Structure 1
Amino acid sequence: MRKRFAVAATALAALLISLLSFTAPAQAAVGLRVSGGKIYEANGSQFIMRGTSHAHTWYSSQTSSFANIKSLGANTVRVVLSGGRWTANTASDVANVIALCKQNRLICVLENHDTTGYGEQGGAYTLDQAVDYWIGLKSVLTGQENHIVINIGNEPYGNNNTSGWTSATSNAISRMRAAGFQHMLMVDAPNWGQDWGFVMRDTAATVFSGDPQKNTVFSIHMYGVFDTAAEITAYLQAFQTAGLPLVIGEFGNMHSDGDPDEDTIMSQAQSRGIGYLGWSWSGNGGGVEYLDQVTNFNVGQLTTWGQRLFNGANGIASTSKEATVYSGASPSPSPSSSPSSSPSPSPSSSPSSSPSPSTSPTGGTKTCSATYSVIGQWQGGFQAEVKVTAGGAAISGWTVKWTYADGQTVTQSWNTTITSSGSAVTANNMSYNGGLGAGAATSFGFLGSWNGTNGVPSLTCTAA
């Protein structure tokens, strides 16, 4: 059960903190890393989180949630864990969580929920205790630096004695590094994550500089304190001005302490290239059931909040880009500091529909096949993926064609160039995914519209 306390909504001042200087982060050989206030994968591709949180510690049997979250376009899932405040998640359980994230091509943000509301809520753990938990899990976390982020402690201070956040957070980071953790670390703000006293905002540079790896990202939770566009933009701008990495680690479309401006939160995150993670997939209680994004963990029953987060303007389906550690894509020669307006593929390990591929050689033994999968579907819209596989010889390019029989249309696409003529659709490779070795595969995706029936078409694939 997710428990929150109302906080006094104090207007954020327009004053921005001064630009602060600190040593540039070292380039990590492996793993997600921070550079220039942004998050990058080990190969240099920028990664912008788009996803939600899943309360695994209370609903450990709901393992299908990982695939369901992915099916709606997310590239990240934040997983709630406990070291003992609730039933502890063991090393074997956490290893299975990581496997589920990787199986469903999601970056996994693992968070310890025991620290929630420390100093104000009875039973809350210290950040030092949270570090003890992570050290106990080190054997299953080591080697997963490309796939996971460690969120040391959820909302580690309530509204009491928040000045202690800075030293406690710095000490936690130092202990993690001394224990040998090479992972990107995430730290939550005090004031139940909302930082209305600006402790995190004003001391983040000190905390960041204290990380010997310079690989810490800050997480702000935006609920009722952030109910105006001015408050949201001022807070985000403060971190951008300071060149410090920030993600919106939680937010909702309403809350007992006020009405968050989720539209501005999402549009500002998109325009600034900042990650966001909604709260939460399902299972909320204690009067905040309105924060559920699906009803009873059923992906086919999106709530109003779930529709807004996944399918609305600047939502996950239209802005998410899958981590290249899964797609194998290389960074573009001139990467943009802001995310693409097109979503990334959300592949399923078990395509919902997979017709027998058609193969069309272009000469010699160069062949390819293609399969079409509907990844997610909602009223009037859907997301699909096409997987292209080379035959027995390497190919330098591919073209996939199909004809819709039910009036569907393609509205957006990624990892391909799509042209349509009536119901006929032609998809061509991009410069970076046309060359495939024998038996190698790539994928592209798109959003489309439908009405009445959304049948799966037959495909032809022509190799070059």
Structure 2
Amino acid sequence: MRKRLAVALTTLAALVLTLLVVVPSASAAVGLRVQNGKLFEGNGNEFVMRGVNHAHTWYPGETGSFANIKATGANTVRVVLSNGTRWTRNSGSDVSTVISLCKTTKLICVLEVHDTTGYGEQSGAASLSQAADYWLSADIKSALAGQENYVILNIGNEPHGNQGYQNWTTDTSQAIQRLRAGGYQHVIMVDAPNWGQDWSFTMRDNAAQVYAADTTGNTMFSIHMYGVFDTAAEVSAYLNSFVSRKLPILVGEFGHDHSDGNPDEDAIFATTQSLGLGYLTWSWSGNGGGVEYLDMVQSFNPNSLTSWGQRAVNGANGIKATSRQATIYGGGTDPGDTTAPSQPGTPTASEVTGSSVRLSWTASTDNVGVTGYDIVRVAGGTETAAGSSSANSATVSGLAASTAYTFAVYAKDAAGNRSTRSGTVNVLTGGGTGGGSCAVTYKVAGQWQGGFQGDVVVRNTGTAAVSGWQLRWSFANGQTVSQAWNAQASQSGAQVTAGNVDWNRSIPAGGSTSFGFIGSWNGSNGAPTAFTLNGAACTVG
């Protein structure tokens, strides 16, 4: 996935005037097919790819990713394979398993040989001819036989780097012709050179010639959009140059950021949607080498979408909003219900113990009915699954004592749509020892219209140290705590819980600790009259 910088685009008008498209007959095609610059299923329904790339050859054990990718609403998965040149060869048996997983999860399967990446510049990369050898080997041909309705054959990933890319036209044409001569009737997908980004416009300017090399007219083109495509104008001009000539194209890879520049992902989503073109996001999980930010989920966990994953799945023109299942799996042209449930209310916490908490929230509404809620733990901008519930309350267990947590919930409906995330609630679990004898001083250190600063001193008046502490009190006038220092604070209704941080976990006998917070008030700001330390009542004053 190494990418390079762009050069200026020539005008679309000049391109249209100088290039002539020869459109072969598509009468010989079976299953998925290309016609008039679009992709169609065998029954004549147009199919627009909305999917995700998955690095199967490097993570062969992550077979659950197929179902998880489908759960995003995707209708296609592009699967990384190896012909054995750079990585372990994927056998015909393994390819059959991949196809079976695609069919079981109702995904169209795009299979690609990744070893060709950067050929001519990347040491050890395979040529397109070597990739064709793989597809023509007996076990792979057997695996793909009869799968034309379900499988698209992507000859090789990014088959030329920034050296020798002038050979792309000949190399690609010859590879297509070898596959056709070998009996393949599948849709063939070909990637652009220049690490997939075609900054030299080699694919753009020679696409008609390559397309004409396929006597079945069943070839489509794939552009990878990273730093070269950092403006909406560049995205639009490139894609429209193919659309205007009725040459089939999709965005086979793209992301929200890259080391070679910042692609305009919003323009890619919007332009492909407006032109009716497919896109495949890179990639589900497992990226390395400094591009880990392109992971859509963390550690293959479908409940831990990254910011890129959230954008690609749930954002404007994203997968969930625009994907339509292939009709061969029972999908249709009717998009069905795409209305997400309303946002759930911000959870409140109760029944807090050292290992669990009960969360409750205002229920969501939906046009086809809410089927349940996903509970997530939020930390550092990422989410981890914490449970699920069919009702608008649930107990989350398995928590660590004396630990701060942040929770939120999503609502789901019968059509598989997911709401926006609720507000978050902070929870501090119970724990600690000691606290049988204590005294608390509470004061308002400063007050202004609608806000105030509270200072609290906790003294251990007993004879044993307090190890790990939680101080609780209730406000009588509806005050709320918004932030604290030297303590972890959370609030449920009127009750506030403040607990130790790492550096003040212990309060020695006869010793004290202090913390402060910012709160809000309206009308009255009376001081609390009762405090407990680890469940034991304290004197006040």
Name the TM tier (shorter chain).
0.7 to 0.9
Which one has a bigger Cα radius of gyration? Answer: 2
Q: Partner of 2:74 in structure 1?
A: 74
- 1:411·1:446 contact (CA, 8 Å) conserved in 2? no
For normalisation by structure 2, the TM-score amounts to: 0.63
Identity among equivalent positions (%) equals: 58
2:330 matched residue in structure 1: 327
- Structure 2 vs 1, CA of residues 94 and 237 (structure 1 numbering), >3 Å: closer, same or farther? same
Question: What secondary structure is seen at the aligned counterpart in 2 of 1:154?
Answer: coil
| Counterpart residue number, 1:103 | 104
Cα deviations by residue, 1:257-290 (Å, 9 ceiling, x for unpaired)? 0000000000000000000000000000000000
| Cα distance in 2, alignment partners of residues 21 and 377 from structure 1 | 47
How does 1:370-389 map onto structure 2 within 5 Å?
Answer: none
Cα offsets for 1:135-162 (capped at 9, x unmatched): 1110110100000000000000000121
How far has the Cα of 1:450 moved from its partner?
7.4
What does residue range 245-324 of structure 1 map to in structure 2 within 5 Å?
A: 245-324=248-327
Distance 1:22 1:380, change over 3 A: farther
Instruction: Give the aligned length.
Output: 358
Give the letter aligned to residue 8 of structure 1: L
Quick one: structure 1 residues 451 and 185, their matched pair in 2 at CA, closer, same or farther if it must change by over 3 Å?
A: closer
Cross-structure match for 1:146: 149
- Return closer, same or farther for 1:316/1:343 CA change in 2, 3 Å cut-off: farther
In the other structure, the counterpart of 2:499 is none
Q: 1:11 aligns with which of 8, 11, 18?
A: 8
**Contact 2:297 / 2:306 at 8 angstroms: preserved in 1?**
yes
Any residues of structure 2 matched to 1:16-55 within 5 Å, and which? 16=13, 17-18=15-16, 20-28=20-28, 30-55=30-55
Query: Please, which runs of 5 or more residues in structure 1 have no aligned partner?
Result: 333-339, 345-375, 382-404, 413-443, 454-464
Q: Which residue of 1 aligns with 2:95?
A: 94
Alpha-carbon offset, residue 408 of structure 1: 2.3
TM-aligned CA deviation for residue 12 of structure 1:
1.8
Q: Report what 2:415 is aligned to.
A: 445
Distance 1:447 1:269, change over 3 A: same
Counterparts in 2 of 1:33-432, with a 5 A limit?
Answer: 33-84=33-84, 85-136=86-137, 137-327=140-330, 329=332, 406-410=363-367
Instruction: Note closer, same or farther for the CA distance 1:380–1:250 as it changes in structure 2 (3 Å cut).
Output: farther
RMSD: 2.6
Distance 1:190 1:36 in 2: 24
Q: Note if contact 1:219-1:248 (Cα within 8 Å) is conserved in structure 2.
A: yes
Higher relative contact order (CA 8 A, sep 6+): 1
Structure 2 residue identity aligned to 1:134: W
| 5+ long unaligned stretches in structure 2 | 346-361, 370-413, 424-541
Identify if the C-alpha distance between structure 1 residues 106 and 14 changes in structure 2 by more than 3 Å, giving closer, same or farther: same
Q: Distance in 1 between matches of 2:22 and 2:78?
A: 29
User: Residues 160, 445 of structure 1: CA spacing in aligned structure 2 closer, same or farther, 3 A cutoff?
Assistant: same
Q: How far did residue 304 of structure 1 move?
A: 0.5
**CA offset digits 1:156-210 (Å, max 9, x no partner):** 0000121100000000000000000010000000000000000000000000011
Cα pair 1:409 1:449 within 8 Å, conserved: no
Instruction: Note the alpha carbon deviations across 1:303-343, whole angstroms, 9 max, x for none.
Output: 000000000000000000000010164x68xxxxxxx6976
Q: What SS does the aligned partner of 2:302 have?
A: strand
> Structure 2 vs 1, CA of residues 133 and 308 (structure 1 numbering), >3 Å: closer, same or farther?
same
Q: TM-score, normalised by structure 1?
A: 0.73
